């Protein structure tokens, strides 16, 4: 992955996650994220009664989109579409929590029996830097 994009993802902490809910509508939420590379994937810590989790547990549409970058001062954005899944294996959860709590140490206090970790894997992404003329666009490799 492009080093500019990785640096951007390391710097940013919040994104918008949008998915399909059981009744067919969409739901968006602003969430803290952490991420892994090779393959690129994003992790979100939430609770078991959230709309995101409800949709995944009902086996409905797992398609989702994520946008990182909201600052008019930075003028950078990463837009993605892909799929969500619940991380359930204890070994995988342990590895994800290490990544997530390193970026968001405060999140550890919310970990309990109602905590659920969701993974987003992008199937397409586009990074745009609006600080250049013309803007710099980097599409999924």
Return the pLDDT at 25.
85
If one counts every other C-beta atom within 10 angstroms of the C-beta of residue 42, the result is 23
Looking at residue 22, its pLDDT comes to 77
Candidate from 1-5, 21-25, 75-79 with smallest mean pLDDT: 21-25
Between the alpha carbon of residue 97 and those of residues 108, 124, 128, the distances in Å are 8, 25, 29
CATH number of the domain encompassing residue 101: 2.30.110.10
Condensed to tens digits (0 to 9), the pLDDT of residues 45-67 reads 999 988 888 888 877 679 999 99
Cα distance between residue 26 and residue 72, in whole Å: 26
pTM: 0.93
Contact 125, 140 (CB under 8 A): yes
Residue-averaged pLDDT of the chain: 94
The residue range of the domain holding 132 is 3-139
How many domains are contained in the chain? Answer: 1
Q: Report the DSSP pairing between strands 63-68 and 76-87.
A: antiparallel
Measure the CA–CA gap between 30 and 42, rounded to whole angstroms. Answer: 14
């Amino acid at each position: 992955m492009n080093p500019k994009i990785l640096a951007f993802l390391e710097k940013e902490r919040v994104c918008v996650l949008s998915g399909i809910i059981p009744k067919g509508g969409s739901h968006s939420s602003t969430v803290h994220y952490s991420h892994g590379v090779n393959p690129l994937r994003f992790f979100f810590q939430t609770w078991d009664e959230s709309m995101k989790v409800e949709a995944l547990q009902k086996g409905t549409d797992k398609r989702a989109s994520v946008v990182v970058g909201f600052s008019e001062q930075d003028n950078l954005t990463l837009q993605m579409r892909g799929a969500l899944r619940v991380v359930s294996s204890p070994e995988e959860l342990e590895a994800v929590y290490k990544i997530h709590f390193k970026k968001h140490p405060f999140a550890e206090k919310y970990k309990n029996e109602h905590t659920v970790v969701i993974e987003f894997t992008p199937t397409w992404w586009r990074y745009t830097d609006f600080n250049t003329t013309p803007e710099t666009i980097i599409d999924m490799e």
